[in-house]
């Protein structure tokens, strides 16, 4: 099993979610996050005061997937979330040691 963490641009969320549903992904966790990478921050000016915000708002997706599905999920996210501009985000994948469905107690891939 793999655990996929994707950081994407917030406005791409709906598109990515739809593409992943079509692929058969049954669930994911979404959070609003802030961070920085190569993309520069934005400048805000309030009367004389100028502030540069280094942290930009992004959306983080967390998906647990079977080993066969994982490469296709990564591919779909990469293709859907891309605007070919700086700040499109990143996809991280880690090995998932175990998964348990709380309601039934099932473990492993059937719990996903």
Partner 1 sequence: MIRKMISGVVGTGLVLGFASTAFAQAAMIKAPTAAQQVAMINKGDTAWLLVSSAFVLMMSVPGLALFYGGLVRTKNMLSVLMQVFMIVSVCGLLWATVGYSMAFTTGFTSSLTPYIGGFSKALMRGIDGTTAATTFSNNVYVPELAYFVFQMTFAMITPALIIGSFAERIKFTPLMVFVVLWSILVYYPIAHMVWYWAGPDFLPDSPNEAGLLNHWGALDFAGGTVVHINAGIAGMVGCLMIGKRLGFGKDNTPPHSLTLTMVGASLLWVGWFGFNAGSNLEANGVTAVAFVNTMLATCAAAVSWAVVEQIVHAKPSTLGAASGAVAGLVAVTPASGYAAPMTALVLGLVVSPICFFFVTTVKNKFKYDDTLDVFGVHCVGGITGALGTAIVASPALGGQGVIDYTRFPAVPMQGYSIASQLMIQLEAVTITLVWSGVISALLYFAIDKTLGLRPTEEAEREGLDINEHGERAYNY
**Residue 94 binds to partner 1 (criterion: CB under 8 A):** no
Distance CA 92, CA 107 (A): 23
- CB of 44 vs partner 1, minimal distance in Å: 6
**Residue 42 binds to partner 1 (criterion: CB under 8 A):** no
Distance CA 96, CA 89 (A): 22
The answer to whether the CB of 13 falls within 8 A of the CB of 31 is no
Kindly give the pairing relationship between strand 56-65 and strand 2-8: antiparallel
Q: Which is nearer to partner 1, 51 or 92 (CB)?
A: 51
- CB of 52 vs partner 1, minimal distance in Å: 8
**Residue 110 binds to partner 1 (criterion: CB under 8 A):** no
**Residue 36 binds to partner 1 (criterion: CB under 8 A):** no
Distance CA 56, CA 6 (A): 15
**Residue 48 binds to partner 1 (criterion: CB under 8 A):** yes
The binding site for partner 1 (CB under 8 A) comprises 44-49, 51, 53
């Amino acid at each position: 099993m793999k655990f996929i963490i994707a950081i994407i641009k917030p406005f791409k969320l709906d598109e990515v979610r739809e593409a992943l549903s079509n692929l058969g992904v049954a669930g994911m966790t979404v959070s609003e996050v802030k961070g920085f990478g190569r993309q520069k921050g934005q400048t805000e000016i309030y009367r004389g005061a100028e502030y540069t915000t280094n942290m930009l708002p992004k959306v983080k997706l967390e998906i647990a997937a079977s080993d066969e599905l994982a490469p296709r999920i990564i591919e779909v996210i990469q293709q859907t979330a891309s605007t070919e501009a700086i700040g499109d985000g990143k996809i991280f994948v880690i090995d998932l040691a175990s998964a348990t469905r709380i309601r039934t107690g099932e473990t492993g891939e059937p719990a996903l």
